[in-house]
Chain A
Amino acid sequence: CASVQPPSTGTGLEQVSRAWEQRRSQLGAQDGFELQGRLAAKGGGLSGSLRWQQAGSRFRLRLSGPFGAGALSLEGDEALVAIKGKDLDLVTAEPEVVLAARTGWRLPLAALRWWVLGLPAPDAEAQLQLDADGRPLGFRQLGWQLRFADWRPGTPSLPGRIEAQQDNWQALLLIENLSLGAPPALSAP
């Protein structure tokens, strides 16, 4: 999938950006998702299975190592998040800071909810590289470089492998399955 060059006849780019716009409106209209996969920090030796439920801005994320070792849960919205784990039970307005300090995981939680769908976060600038089907090869946003691969069939198709890099920290998300639509378990606050 070649990255998008300005095509000589002008239709290529138009067709690609139309495909991208269609993808963006389809995904943007979703009120949530439920994701199951594996998350790992390259080079950090941190890895675990992940279940992520998102409904509007409310989310519930659960991460655990082999046999449930090191189980960690985060639940809340953009304002406040409850973090629970071994010797960890607190509510914070800065979950990303607490998570990094207490577990070593550096996760851009606020933006990841869009990135897992292959979308840039809505209110921040992003330079996009699109493939011929209007899907993002990657983009740079909020100081992170995103790369997408293993696209899964479906309308719209969704990425199966997402790399997010900031300086020398690289997180890799392998998505085993993702269903669109807010999970009922989470919709009722």
Chain B
Amino acid sequence: ETPEQALARFVDGVQTLQAEFSQTQIDERGETLNSSSGRMALARPGKFRWEYLRPAPQLIVTDGSRLWLYDQDLKQVSIRPAAEALQGTPAALLSQRQTLTETFSVADAGSEGAVRKLELKPKGKDSDFQSVELWLKGGTPVRMLFRDQLGGATDIQFSAIRTNGKLDATLFQFQVPKGVEVIDGSQP
């Protein structure tokens, strides 16, 4: 199975996904910057939810057209057009359908047992990431690693993974709570 076929099996085979995640960020010297955890969900095409629970509640939600970035401590939500905000982020990678291989070149990065590792490099010059590594097990993501422009990395391990379940649409919408400041950059 070529890297493109492995990726296609994921893009076509996994229509919805729910999982818990734990995330560690390390800097370009390998020093741990922070760690966090939470839960995520996606539904193709374009719907995505990434909810940090620890150390602090933060939420990234998109319904495919608008993306909300909500920070509970800051009592602030910024809204941006999904297409612009999704460039090369897990949201784009996980929830887009056909545009994936248009925005990333895919290369084989080996495999460990049943887990297949792919390396995706953004084709455009202005991506926020140098590369994205995606570990797939039977077409389902179990780990992702984002290499940022300074050479640091955001390493995400998934657990309690459920694919192709029925997901409620409200999971991918965001109601602005009372008293929260809105920075609306979604109108062009």
Which residues of A does B touch, CB under 8 Å? Answer: 36, 38, 40, 42-45, 47, 49, 51, 62, 64-73, 84-86, 161, 172, 174, 176, 185
Which residue from A43, A67, A73 sits with its C-beta under 8 Å from B89? A67
A81–chain B nearest beta-carbon distance, Å: 15
Number of A-B contacts (CB under 8 A): 88
Q: With A and B bound together, what is the CA distance between A85 and B126 in angstroms?
A: 12
B119 in contact (CB, < 8 A): no
Q: With A and B bound together, what is the CA distance between A69 and B67 in angstroms?
A: 15
Which residues of B does A touch, CB under 8 Å? Answer: 25, 27-29, 31, 33-34, 50, 55-56, 60, 69, 71, 73-74, 76, 78, 89-90, 126, 128-129, 146-150, 152-154, 181, 183, 185
A67 and B90 within 8 A (CB): yes
B171–chain A nearest beta-carbon distance, Å: 18
Q: Determine the residue in chain A with the shortest Cβ distance to B33.
A: A51
B74 and A176 within 8 A (CB): no
A68/B146 contact (C-beta < 8 A), A62-B27, A176-B55, A176-B56 known: yes
Q: Within 8 Å CB of B25, what residues of A?
A: 49, 64, 68
A51/B27 contact (C-beta < 8 A), A62-B33, A68-B148 known: yes
B52–chain A nearest beta-carbon distance, Å: 9
Q: With A and B bound together, what is the CA distance between A73 and B149 in angstroms?
A: 10
B69 and A66 within 8 A (CB): yes
B74 and A71 within 8 A (CB): no
Identify 8 new A-B residue pairs, CB closer than 8 A, beyond the known A64-B150, A174-B73: A40-B74, A47-B78, A51-B34, A64-B25, A68-B25, A68-B129, A86-B149, A161-B73
6 pairs, CB–CB < 8 Å, chain A vs chain B: A36-B34, A40-B71, A49-B34, A68-B147, A68-B154, A85-B149
B74 and A70 within 8 A (CB): no
A185/B148 contact (C-beta < 8 A), A40-B76, A68-B128, A176-B56 known: no
A84–chain B nearest beta-carbon distance, Å: 6
Q: Determine the residue in chain A with the shortest Cβ distance to B28.
A: A73
A45 and B185 within 8 A (CB): yes
A84/B150 contact (C-beta < 8 A), A51-B27, A69-B129, A176-B56 known: yes
B183 and A71 within 8 A (CB): no
B31 and A68 within 8 A (CB): no
Which residue from B55, B56, B126, B152 sits with its C-beta under 8 Å from A68? B152
Q: Within 8 Å CB of B78, what residues of A?
A: 45, 47
Task: Report the 9 A-B pairs with minimum CB-CB distance, sorted nearest first.
Answer: A68-B148, A69-B128, A71-B148, A45-B78, A45-B183, A86-B149, A71-B150, A68-B154, A67-B154
A43–chain B nearest beta-carbon distance, Å: 7
A47 and B76 within 8 A (CB): yes
B89 and A66 within 8 A (CB): yes
Q: With A and B bound together, what is the CA distance between A66 and B154 in angstroms?
A: 9
A185 and B129 within 8 A (CB): no
B74 and A66 within 8 A (CB): no
Q: Within 8 Å CB of B153, what residues of A?
A: 68
Q: Within 8 Å CB of A49, what residues of B?
A: 25, 33-34
Q: With A and B bound together, what is the CA distance between A177 and B53 in angstroms?
A: 17
Q: Within 8 Å CB of B150, what residues of A?
A: 62, 64, 71-73, 84-85
Residue picked from B147, B149, B150, most chain A C-beta under 10 Å: B149
B150–chain A nearest beta-carbon distance, Å: 4
Q: With A and B bound together, what is the CA distance between A43 and B181 in angstroms?
A: 8
B42–chain A nearest beta-carbon distance, Å: 15
A187–chain B nearest beta-carbon distance, Å: 14
